[in-house]
Chains A and B, each alone.
Chain A
Amino acid sequence: MAFLDISHLEKSFGTMRVVKDFNLQIEQGEFVSLLGPSGCGKTTVLRMVAGFEAPSAGSIRIDGKDVVNLRPNQRKIGMVFQAYALFPNLTVAQNVGFGLGIAGVPKAEAAARVQEMLDLIGLPDLGSRYPFQLSGGQQQRVALARALAVRPRVLLLDEPLSALDAKIRVSLRTEIREIQQRLGITTIFVTHDQEEALSMSDRVVVMNGGIADQIGTPFEIYNRPTTRFVAGFVGTLNNFNAIVTDAASGGIRIGDSVLTLPQPVNAPNGAAITVALRPEAAHLGRAPGREVILNGTIAEVHFMGSVIRIKADVAGTMLSLDTFNRADTPPPPVGTATEISVSARDFIVLAD
Chain B
Amino acid sequence: MSGLVLWGIGMLVVGVVLGRILRPQASIVLAALTTLFILFAFPGLASDLVPISADFWPVYALLLGALIGGMADRLSFYTWGVVILGVIFFILPLYGMTEFSLKMLRGIYSFEAYRVVLQDSQFQLTFSYSVIMAAFTIAFGVLLVVPTAYWVRLKTPELRPLIEFITLLPLVIPAIVIVFGYIRLYNTSSWLPLTGTATGTNILLMFGYATLALPYMYRAVDTGLRTIDVATLTEAAQSLGASWARIIATIILPNVLGAVLSGAFLTFAIVIGEFTMAALLNRPAFGPYMQLLGVNRAYEPAALAVIAFAITWGCMGLIQLVNRFSKHSRAAS
Contacts and interface: CB of A to CB of B under 8 A. Distances in A.
Interface stretch (A74-82, A181-189, A218-226, A319-327): A74-82
B240 A102 contact: yes
B254 A102 contact: no
Contacts of B241: 73-74, 76, 99, 102-103, 150
B236 A89 contact: no
Interface stretch (B137-145, B277-285, B325-333): B325-333
A100 to B, nearest CB: 9
A4 B313 CA distance: 60
A149 to B, nearest CB: 9
Given A83-B229, A88-B255, A52 B243 contact: no
Say which size band chain B's interface belongs to: 20 to 34
A85 B236 contact: yes
B331 to A, nearest CB: 3
A89 to B, nearest CB: 4
A50 interface: yes
A213 B233 CA distance: 32
B235 A79 contact: yes
B246 interface: yes
B232 interface: yes
A146 interface: yes
Contacts of A74: 241
Of listed B236, B239, B246, B328, residue having the most chain A CB within 10 A: B239
A98 interface: yes
Nearest to A94: B250
A51 B234 CA distance: 13
B229 A85 contact: yes
B251 A89 contact: yes
Contacts of A75: 239
A132 interface: yes
Given A88-B228, A88-B255, A98 B237 contact: yes
B242 interface: yes
B188 interface: no
B238 interface: yes
Contacts of B330: 132
Nearest to A150: B240
Contact of A89 (B239, B246, B328): B328
Interface in B11-38: none
B316 to A, nearest CB: 23
A147 interface: yes
A132 B229 CA distance: 14
B327 A130 contact: yes
Contacts of A156: 239
A99 B255 contact: no
B333 A132 contact: yes
The list of the 8 closest CB pairs from A to B, nearest first, reads A88-B331, A99-B240, A85-B236, A89-B254, A72-B238, A79-B239, A85-B232, A102-B241
